[in-house]
Amino acid sequence: MTRKFLSSLSVLLILTLSIFGTAAAKSKTEITGISAYETSGNILRLEISYDGELKMENISTRITGNIFSIVLNNTTPGRISRISGTRIDDSAFVKKITVKDADKNSTRIRLILANALDESACKISIQPANRAENSSAKVIVDINKSALRKIDDYDEEDVQHFKAGDKVIVIDAGHGGSDTGAVGPTGLTEKEVCLAVALQTEKILQKEGMKVVMTRRTDVDVAGRGALNVGELQARVDKTPPQANLFISIHCNAFTNPKSHGMETYHYGASAEGQRLAQLLNDELAKFGGLTNRGVKAANFYVIKRSKCPASLIELAFITNPEEEKLLADAKYQKKVAGAIATAVKKFFMN
Ligand SMILES: [Zn+2]
């Protein structure tokens, strides 16, 4: 009885708060609806309804590969903000729509498309409210579907759209030189897999306009032959320039049981940004690998603990597992892994 009374009281409170909330936000334009659909004219149309004033100069857009984002300044997402991750089921082109406050004064809407997009494919216009037809004012984004390009795995062309300017990424290929790292059943060494993936990652990130610092680009001990383990690891940390944004260390897992399998990513426990990076890397690597996802974990590994910037360590797969060793040796697979790492890096900076 008491509980029932309390819950109806809290409903009343919420209602009252939302009424005051609406009244207080009235000065700001409110986004009242979003829809996406395909027109007969080969157009994918995004309609954003709003209540209040909105000018073209309040609208900015950005295209990053297959992500189209539009930011509406001096607006509030209002109740629309609850529509997060909406799927448009009848469109083969739109995978997801997300809405959130970009900051206190603007709303950001993102279309996650099935295909990459060129800037020239989008046309934006404002359609005023029509009182006679009882339709609200709308921002209309028309995307020419013929300009959507197919994405086959991680095409290097797709990532060129992202201009990361001054971002500096440190890529650490695990082991090297006198230290082979783990060795697979056919003799594949961890150090060669890490280097191959690291070099591919460097290539893709550079194409995106980012600066890449490699802890090693050849089969060497970074601290010099004979250095103690800690010295070797510190030498990798020391390669990080002061302006570095991210540190990513690439490794392969190993275990005595050849059945152990899967991929996992690590961050240093106290680093929230490191955790975000590890999560993004994990998400991207899980997308295509077909490997068991062992998740995102916290650890005190030397390089991520001592890193001067947000850091993550990746265990790509178990080199001691015969099937995963085969994958790790495959140049095509290495390239896919590198593409996933680059995508995660890109997403890190998009938030
Ligand atoms: Zn290792």
CATH of domain 28-147: 2.60.40.3500
Query: How would residue 229 be classed by pLDDT, with cut points 50, 70 and 90?
Result: confident
* Token pair recorded at residue 1: 């009885």
- This model's pTM is above 0.75: no
Q: Is the pLDDT of residue 102 over 90?
A: no
Could you tell me which residues are beta bridge partners of residue 277? none
How far apart are the C-alpha atoms of 225 and 218, rounded to whole Å? 14
In 3-state terms, the chain is what percent helix, strand and coil (to 5)?
Answer: 35, 30, 35
Ligand 1 centroid from CA 156, angstroms? 27
At the topology level, CATH places domain 156-350 in: Aminopeptidase (3.40.630)
Ligand 1 centroid from CA 171, angstroms? 14
Ligand 1 centroid from CA 302, angstroms? 12
CA 156 vs. chain centroid, Å, equals 16
How far apart are the C-alpha atoms of 266 and 189, rounded to whole Å? 21
Q: Is the pLDDT of residue 90 over 70?
A: no
User: Average pLDDT, stretch 88-104?
Assistant: 70
Query: How would residue 91 be classed by pLDDT, with cut points 50, 70 and 90?
Result: low
- Domain ranges in the chain are 28-147, 156-350
Ligand 1 centroid from CA 74, angstroms? 49
Ligand 1 centroid from CA 181, angstroms? 5
How far apart are the C-alpha atoms of 34 and 49, rounded to whole Å? 6
More confident residue, 170 or 91: 170
Q: Summarize pLDDT for 148-193 with one digit per residue, the tens.
A: 765 444 333 333 344 466 799 999 999 999 999 999 999 999 999 9
Query: How would residue 132 be classed by pLDDT, with cut points 50, 70 and 90?
Result: confident
Ligand 1 centroid from CA 242, angstroms? 25
Ligand 1 centroid from CA 174, angstroms? 6
- Taking alpha carbons only, the member of 118, 119, 116, 81 closest to residue 98 is 81
Query: How would residue 143 be classed by pLDDT, with cut points 50, 70 and 90?
Result: confident
The owner of tokens 């680009």 is 217
Sign of CA dihedral 148, 150, 155, 157: negative
User: Average pLDDT, stretch 78-92?
Assistant: 56
Ligand 1 centroid from CA 319, angstroms? 10
How far apart are the C-alpha atoms of 153 and 116, rounded to whole Å? 11
Ligand 1 centroid from CA 272, angstroms? 23
Q: Where in 166-205 does DSSP place strands (E)?
A: 168-173
Ligand 1 centroid from CA 45, angstroms? 48
User: Around Cβ 97, how many Cβ atoms within 10 Å?
Assistant: 20
Are the CB atoms for 249 and 313 separated by under 8 Å? yes
How far apart are the C-alpha atoms of 278 and 27, rounded to whole Å? 40
- Residues by chain with Cβ below 5 Å of ion ligand 1: 174, 181, 251
For the chain, the first-to-last Cα distance in angstroms comes to 46
Report the pLDDT value the prediction gives residue 32, as an integer from 0 to 100.
83
